[in-house]
Amino acid sequence: MITSIVLIKTSVDQIPEIAEKIAALEGVSEVYSVTGAHDLIAMVRVAQHDDLADVIPGRISKIPGVASTETHIAFRTYSQHDLEAAFSIGIEE
């Protein structure tokens, strides 16, 4: 499994709609709205490197309102728990 973190700049007035469209794409496991230089972060998980081209420039970048993307490919996952905690918003069930 290849995991990539995609930093996305969007039209600010369309963030929720764009996030929902990205989240609905095959290969996208999560989408977060964030503060900072980027508006959204998408976690993309695919079987092969070639699949990244289908998902990121092939689909995410073509969604109206997506201005740019910056992709980081993960080398290793050290702890699933640590990843979940890093992106948790602190809601307890």
Total count of domains within the chain: 1
- Model pTM? 0.82
pLDDT tens-digit map of 52-87 = 999 999 999 999 999 999 999 999 887 665 556 666
Domain span at residue 70 reads 2-86
CATH number at residue 49: 3.30.70.920
| Mean pLDDT value of segment 22-44 | 97
Query: Is 12 part of a structural domain of the chain?
Result: yes
Q: Which residues contact 60 (CB under 8 A, 6 or more apart)?
A: 6, 8, 22, 25, 28, 42, 44, 66, 69
